Amino acid sequence: MNLQIALDRLSEEECLTILSETNGYVDWIEVGTGVIKEYGMEIVRKVRNQYPNATIVADMKTCDAGSHEAVQAFEAGADITTVMAFSADQTIVDMIHKAKEYNGRVMVDLLNVKDPKRVEQLSSLGIDLVSLHFGKDMQQNGALDHTLFELIKDSPQLEVAVAGGINLQSLPAIISHQPDTVIVGSAITKEKYRRQAAKQMKEVILSYETNNTHS
């Protein structure tokens, strides 16, 4: 199970500092939408140059012009780029084609998707990686709203990432659903001791995996 750090609502300097502090505990690096809008693809290039062996996600949240935006992301050094599930099928297909050219991947953001049929459609288009979004107000008193996992229960072939307000307290409930990747933002990036926060998150994941080796 991967731990993906989401870098968003941060300055370029903060992004690079956080990566240096958490290096060794995070598996995937996400350059967030807000950061890309602020600094362009150049910040993706900088992250790639500093972490040549990392898996980098450019969270483009593409809605249209799929081919062009996919090329932007992959040329800058991203391994994975994101597209919104409500985008036209052609947009998504175009991105998949470009991903194959660059040996990259496309992650579909399922934000606000309510119908599992859309997930089935995405899979038929050739998508194999999706992300589920938990809004912070979907979690009441620390309790997890499990309904989002209903979207992908009939699509076991998909690789699943989970994002949205995940912290050390909610992490055990999230990983009990056995996603492939857990995306964590402010619970690491806003902490005073960020390396310790990332270390604790990774340890919870590794402990779960050790105790559930059959999964």
- Domain boundaries defined on the chain: 2-211
51 three-state secondary structure:
coil
For 42, other C-beta atoms within 10 Å of its C-beta total: 11
Whether 127 and 96 have beta carbons less than 8 Å apart is answered as yes
CB contact at 8 A, 51 and 15? no
Beta-carbon contacts of 107 under 8 Å, excluding residues fewer than 6 positions away, are 57, 80, 81, 82, 83, 129, 130, 131, 161
Burial (Cβ within 10 Å: 0-12, 13-18, ≥19) of residue 41: middle
Query: Residue 52's pLDDT is what?
Result: 97
- Model pLDDT for residues 125-175, shown as the tens digit of each residue: 999 999 998 755 555 555 556 688 999 999 999 999 999 889 999 999 999
Is it the case that residue 203 has pLDDT exceeding 50? Answer: yes
Taking a C-beta distance cutoff of 8 angstroms, is the pair 169, 16 a contact?
no
Instruction: Give the pLDDT confidence of 40-55 residue by residue, as tens digits.
Output: 999 999 999 999 999 9
Overall CATH class of domain 2-211: alpha beta
Cβ neighbours around 34 below 10 Å, total: 13
Which band of pLDDT confidence, cut at 50, 70 and 90, is reported for residue 116? very high
